[in-house]
Amino acid sequence: MQEKSRILIIEDELKVASFLQRGLEGNNYEAEVAYDGDIGMRKFESSDFDALIVDINIPALNGYEVCKRVRLKNQKIPILILSALGTTTDKLQGFNLGADDYLVKPFEFEELLARIKALLKRADVNQHAEAEVLRVQDLEMNIRSKEVKRSGNKINLTAKEFMLLELLMREHGKVLSRSEIAQKIWDINFDTGSNIIDLYIFYLRKKIDKGFDQKLIHTLHGMGYVLRPD
């Protein structure tokens, strides 16, 4: 019998927390609830979980601080932020602090369930992946160690920046549309009003191409983005 995945829900709204717990348990997950960030961190540190669902506006430690602290202890566990805060700035802050996905309230439970499944599947694939190194020109990415180097110089990336660069490197030479990037990296239907992808491309360019004569990340206006030598 396959072991159930364990989900930690950090949510202070009793009705929402109860709804999530019942829904997850009804879909063959084990779910545990913490009603503030401090209790959530204590539960996380004292037990093994496969994924976290975290609200932002919670007592004690807010959701951003929870993400930050979890990432200091565990770089791999999937974190989904579930919040009524839905601006681009809110989402960017969550992603930059280590969240893997972000769902805005109100939400459809089936969508949340699909995202949790996708995050757990990705985590399982990464856990069992063999050591792999991607190379494009002088840019090198070690999938196992999460190290990125260009011309031997180490480049520090956030989790989302790493995922975006990995996609560009695996598909190097291919033009990727913004909607395709959104679906593969954020597991969301593309929001035409969002500029998150453009911002992350901007962040990557500053880290990958700045100071190098040969640029690797290119914009094809009206089409998307591509990683390839000039």
pLDDT (tens digit, 9 = 90+) per residue, 14-24?
Answer: 999 999 999 99
Cα separation, 203 vs 218, in Å, equals: 13
Q: Which residues of the chain have pLDDT under 70?
A: 1-2, 125-131, 187-194
Geometric angle at alpha carbon 49, from 47 and 51, rounded to 5°: 150
pLDDT at 131: 52
User: Position of tokens 């770089």?
Assistant: 75
pLDDT at 2: 56
Q: For the chain, give me the number of helices (H) and strands (E)?
A: 8, 11
Encoded tokens for 175: 């033009």
What is the chain's mean pLDDT, rounded? 89
